[in-house]
Amino acid sequence: MTRVKGKSQESSEAPKKADKPEKKERCSYSVDQKQIVVEYALKHGRNVAARLYKVDKSMVGRWVQASKKWNAEPAKVNWNSLRVGSGQKPLYEEAENQLHKWVSDQHRLGAEITNSNVRNRMYQILKQPDMKVLYPDAVNEFKASSRWLSGFLSRKKLTVLRDRPVFKKRPVCDVVLREYRQYSILKEIKADDAMQRSSQSQNEVFNNEYMVKTEVEDEVEKMNKKSNEEPITEIHEIFDKYTFVEADPLAESSSFVSHTQSHVQPIILRFNSFVNKSSSDYI
């Protein structure tokens, strides 16, 4: 036996994977076909019936349990239905047919139909004399539930609009209270507007008065400056030249020093001579 370097000839052959079981195709059976399988299973057994008709034995068991309802009311069974677990006819088939015709006519006319319209129309149909003969207890027993409505629409392949929210009418006291609140709110808004307008007018008057006062004060200050400029400048000139040094308590007048930048030794003058000189200069 020749061997491959590093590997044996036996290991080179990979093991085959196990084949997956083929999926069975799902089939639909009518109630009549199910009844045939059920009758054969009751005579020969479920396993034998499952092998013969090539169906699952658990499915045969479910059909056997469902056949009790079929045989109890065979007149209400739709033997050609292919739905799993179905076969029962609607309880009010004639009324639903009439309702279907009414909904189709409304759609043809372009009217909008809602869920509540369908429910109310069904109650009206059941109150008709011919429907009372067919369904004597329908007025008391029938309930237009959401489950019945969805089943009816799916059976007849219809579409309707959903119910729109209905707003309840408020009592009179609530309406009066709401109007009073609106009136009070509007009154407060108007009062606020009036206060704002009055405050704005007061601010404008104050600003105008303030502007007038400031203008008058400016003019007064200018006039005072003009009136005080000449004597102030003269006094400054005099005090730049004559500086107070001391006051002689024994003398009748004080002493000043007369000096300039050019004078080195100040000359003491009497206050009387200073007054006479200054008065003669002004005259």
The 10s digit of each residue's pLDDT in 195-221 is 877 777 666 665 655 565 566 566 667
- Of the candidates 87, 115, 130, which is a domain's last residue? 87
User: Tens digits of per-residue pLDDT, 4-21?
Assistant: 444 444 444 555 555 555
User: Is residue 267 predicted with pLDDT exceeding 50?
Assistant: no
**Which of 282, 252, 254 is CA-nearest to residue 268?**
254
On whether both 198 and 259 belong to a single domain, the answer is yes
Residues belonging to the chain: 283
On whether both 116 and 33 belong to a single domain, the answer is no
User: Tens digits of per-residue pLDDT, 133-142?
Assistant: 888 888 888 8
What pLDDT is attached to residue 52?
Answer: 86
pTM of the model: 0.34
Mean pLDDT of 164-182: 62
> Which of 7-11, 84-88, 153-157 shows the highest mean pLDDT?
153-157
Percent of the chain clearing pLDDT 70 (strictly above): 51
- More reliable by pLDDT, 280 or 160: 160
- More reliable by pLDDT, 27 or 81: 27
Angle between helices 146-156 and 93-109 (to 10 degrees): 70
Structural domain includes residue 12: no
User: Is residue 114 predicted with pLDDT exceeding 70?
Assistant: yes
Mean pLDDT of 83-109: 80
Structural domain includes residue 56: yes
Mean pLDDT of 41-67: 86
Structural domain includes residue 8: no
Contacts from 72-80 at CB under 8 Å and sequence distance 24+?
77/31, 78/31, 79/30, 79/31, 79/32, 79/35, 80/30, 80/31, 80/32
Mean pLDDT of 73-89: 60
On whether both 41 and 138 belong to a single domain, the answer is no
- More reliable by pLDDT, 168 or 121: 121
Euclidean distance between CA atoms 200 and 194, whole angstroms: 10
Structural domain includes residue 2: no
Mean pLDDT of 48-70: 85
The structural domain count of the chain equals 3
Mean pLDDT of 33-44: 87
User: Is residue 42 predicted with pLDDT exceeding 70?
Assistant: yes
On whether both 100 and 76 belong to a single domain, the answer is no
On whether both 202 and 260 belong to a single domain, the answer is yes
User: Is residue 144 predicted with pLDDT exceeding 80?
Assistant: yes
8 A C-beta contact, residue 49 and residue 81: no
Average pLDDT of the chain, as a whole number: 69
On whether both 118 and 204 belong to a single domain, the answer is no
What pLDDT is attached to residue 122?
Answer: 92
Structural domain includes residue 168: no
On whether both 245 and 182 belong to a single domain, the answer is yes
Structural domain includes residue 269: yes
Domain that holds residue 62: 25-87
User: Is residue 229 predicted with pLDDT exceeding 70?
Assistant: no
On whether both 100 and 83 belong to a single domain, the answer is no
What is the band of 110 on the pLDDT scale with cuts at 50, 70, 90? confident
Structural domain includes residue 5: no
What pLDDT is attached to residue 175?
Answer: 64
In sign, the C-alpha dihedral spanning 31, 35, 41, 42 is positive
Angle between helices 31-44 and 57-72 (to 10 degrees): 110
> Which of 12-16, 121-125, 268-272 shows the highest mean pLDDT?
121-125
